[in-house]
Structure 1
Amino acid sequence: MFPIPPTLAAMSDAPRPTLLFVVTEDWYFRSHRLPTARAARDAGFDVGVACRVGKDAAAIAAEGFRVIPLPWRRGSFNPLRALGDVRRLARLYRRERPTIIHHIAVKPTVLGGFALFLAGFPNDLRDTRVVATLAGLGLGLSGAGTKAALGRGLLRLALKAAGWRRRHALVVQNGDDAALLAAGWPRPPSSRLIRGSGVDLTHYEELAEPMGPVTCAQVSRMLTLKGVEDLVAAVRQVRAQGVDLRLLLAGAPDADSPAAIPEATLRAWGTEPGIEWLGAVSDVRTVWARAHIAVLASRGGEGVPKSLLEAAACGRAIVATDVPGSREVAVEGRNALLAPPRDPAALAAALSRLAQNAALRRRLSLGSRAVVDPEFGEAEVGRRMRDLYLGLVAPFPASAPGGA
């Protein structure tokens, strides 16, 4: 539990400050943002969560957080639907008038930024502060093409529409994203680096390496952008070379994503020698208890992958692609081997090397826990986010100058 800091304890006779999270899915909030929300609640905030409601809403409400349904979908970019989402958010902001609005990820940041403008921010919501966390830019915004550049321009426009200024905070999870957002923007808003959403270091403890054939595992949504196809191709290559490497794929299909891998394809892979598709797994410690090596073959756009944080906390050697976000956790030579994205042959070489070198595997495994403990732990991430919120609600001079 976080004690109530003096800045809020001194306000105990006043109404509690309100913190409204705006996020696409209830399951994402539960899996990635509960530690931050708990830290804010324990510091004295009244917490609400606006999201699409599914099976995880009850668990969120059980934490004492208000759940506000939003009828949106992550995979929908229909302009008319987006306009409707903006209007609904504007009405929500005018009705709730929260002390802090925290937009999580790119879509809520973009739509929420325009909704704030429509709601009359900052004049009509002059006491509201805004936090935006960009949990990875995704392949759509992090690429080098014209489409990605236009997407980043739209994101910047949304931030400006939200009346960006000194009393707000832009949070990124890795330095590469901060640099990419700043490029080509004469006066970009300053960003804060808070790496990841936190991992429970007591729940995920170091595990002994399992017996039996060397096994690698990827825990992720089953999407092409996560490089699952590249990983399957790499494991096929390793096995064709006579190395008995096994692969576990843990994760459900994601029908809302345009990058979804069909369930029929996943089932077909699961019938191949050495490959097992587990589907959704409620406790991924059972995966790491079976696997010697953690893999994330992502093609890019990551924030800080939670699956790698959990694997590292369990003391697993890592093979990952050399992309922003992943290399925050997978450090070449310390706890990981890196390969270029979209390169099954290079991925196969790294997997083969680690599968056949127990000493190297053991050395990298020993380095993994030290990478995440304590910097990526829930307590540290929760403390930093709590301090950010408190800094936004702390008294400040009325004559303080505005920022970019």
Structure 2
Amino acid sequence: MTRPRLLFVVNVDWFFLSHRLPVALAARDAGFEVHVATGLSGPAETIESHGFVLHPLHIDRRDTGLRNAWVLWLDLVRIFRRVQPDVVHLVTIKPVLLGGLAARVTRVPRVIAAISGLGFIFTARGPLAKIRSALVSRLYRLALARPGVRVIFQNGDDQALLQRHAGIRDEQVVRIRGSGVDVAAWPVQALPAGAPVVLMAARLLVDKGVHEFVEAARLLRGHRGARFVLAGDLDPGNPTSLARQDLTQWVDNGLIEWWGHREDMPDVLASAHVVVLPSYREGLPKVLIEAAASGRAVVTTDVPGCRDAIDAGTTGLLVPARDGPALAQAIRSLLDDPARCASMGQAGRRLAEAAFDVSRVVDSHLALYREAVGST
């Protein structure tokens, strides 16, 4: 009996491994032949070692021009025709838009599109922003608003926005809150002794709120001896990546510590007293659910995605986006009240167990794949 073919399309390999690997492994174990089309930042063997069939994509995340989009679309058309998947799972903006259009042309029977964040396409203002919004809305409508397509949203704001702009019907919609976390892999430890650590773990992008984090560090310099730590790397493939010279200057001035990219995130989060993510907009940020699983209080922004990852006032605090002083005040309030900090962390762990366990996420995806195969 031929195994059903499931093809993931993701912009870059490390995102697939960090956010979709448990789902892909479960699909493989459930009898699917799993293919992965993605841009490569490392050795191909990393993905192939899991028994997946790899299809390298020619994708430049920095290039938003039409020529790059055309090359990627042709690449996807060729892959779809060669693989002939029963189900295509599209993840991140370029794969969703261009993969949805390629699936339409090649008549892929079932498409699952994961909306992991819409950015500021629909919220920016000005004449150019209106033109861009209208164009992207049309592309989303062509890619997704048709039979055989299911759309996964991580938060209600993105769902309402895209349904309004792209004509996605209610019966197409599935809500899955993020990529989940294996709570067993994130043991809760007591808050460490010594100077409190305020941690921001993220790709070092302007849109993640790094400048506001550094401003808060400047405003709270010396307060209770707190150490402000950035864990994460620069992302040259992203147009909003920080400049290395800015990062070096902040470290040299003693405002922050930079720990770079870390593979041992359970230990990194265990070393923190407060976890901060002052992002401008998200789908549902993985670091916040990992912080909750680790039993750490959170300070994040009152924006789509971020506010969906916490129970405000119980597991963490919300502040306005792009507001360094408000961020500093919220961090100060937790540093000044260790008991509240600890109790928020305990509530976060309960939230992670109840709402974000990866087994729930995996089961929800497998149900979608089985439904899709059963209806082809």
Tell me, yes or no, if structure 1 residue 115 matches structure 2 residue 102: yes
Task: State the match for 1:211 in structure 2.
Answer: 193
Secondary structure of residue in 2 paired with 1:210: coil
Tell me, yes or no, if structure 1 residue 337 matches structure 2 residue 317: yes
Give matches, 1:126-145, under 5 Å: 128-143=109-124
Q: CA deviation at 1:114?
A: 2.3
Contact 1:168 / 1:392 at 8 angstroms: preserved in 2?
Answer: no
Tell me, yes or no, if structure 1 residue 365 matches structure 2 residue 345: yes
More divergent stretch after superposition (26-35 vs 181-190)? 181-190
Indicate how the Cα distance of structure 1 residues 263 and 130 shifts in structure 2: closer, same or farther if over 3 A, else same: same
Give the TM-score taking structure 1 as reference length: 0.88
Q: CA deviation at 1:213?
A: 1.3
Contact 2:315 / 2:345 at 8 angstroms: preserved in 1?
Answer: yes
Root-mean-square deviation over aligned CA pairs: 1.9
Secondary structure of residue in 2 paired with 1:255: coil
Q: CA deviation at 1:360?
A: 1.3
Measure the CA separation in 1 of the matches of 2:284 and 2:197. Answer: 24
Give the TM-score taking structure 2 as reference length: 0.94
The residue identity in structure 1 corresponding to 2:57 is L
More divergent stretch after superposition (53-62 vs 39-48)? 53-62
Q: CA deviation at 1:243?
A: 4.0
The residue identity in structure 2 corresponding to 1:53 is L
Secondary structure of residue in 2 paired with 1:373: helix
Secondary structure of residue in 1 paired with 2:228: strand
Indicate how the Cα distance of structure 1 residues 34 and 92 shifts in structure 2: closer, same or farther if over 3 A, else same: same
Secondary structure of residue in 1 paired with 2:94: helix
Measure the CA separation in 2 of the matches of 1:186 and 1:53. Answer: 33
User: Which structure has the highest helix share of the two?
Assistant: 2
Indicate how the Cα distance of structure 1 residues 289 and 174 shifts in structure 2: closer, same or farther if over 3 A, else same: same
More divergent stretch after superposition (364-373 vs 261-270)? 261-270
Task: State the match for 1:328 in structure 2.
Answer: 308
Task: State the match for 2:286 in structure 1.
Answer: 306
The residue identity in structure 2 corresponding to 1:384 is S
Query: Cα deviation per residue 1:320-366 (whole Å; 9 max; x = unaligned)?
Result: 11111111222211110110000001001101111111121112111
Q: CA deviation at 1:319?
A: 0.6
Query: Cα deviation per residue 1:207-260 (whole Å; 9 max; x = unaligned)?
Result: 2101111211011000100000111101211226x4432111000001011111
Q: CA deviation at 1:286?
A: 2.4
Task: State the match for 1:49 in structure 2.
Answer: 36
Measure the CA separation in 2 of the matches of 1:150 and 1:366. Answer: 46
Measure the CA separation in 1 of the matches of 2:305 and 2:144. Answer: 28
Secondary structure of residue in 1 paired with 2:220: helix
Q: In percent, how many aligned pairs have the same letter? A: 38
Task: State the match for 1:254 in structure 2.
Answer: 235
Secondary structure of residue in 2 paired with 1:213: coil
Give matches, 1:25-40, under 5 Å: 25-40=12-27
Q: CA deviation at 1:161?
A: 2.9
Measure the CA separation in 1 of the matches of 2:140 and 2:115. Answer: 12
Query: Cα deviation per residue 1:286-325 (whole Å; 9 max; x = unaligned)?
Result: 221221000001012x111011111111000001111111
Contact 1:329 / 1:371 at 8 angstroms: preserved in 2?
Answer: no
- Which of the residues 295, 298, 320 maps onto 2:276? 295
Measure the CA separation in 2 of the matches of 1:340 and 1:69. Answer: 40
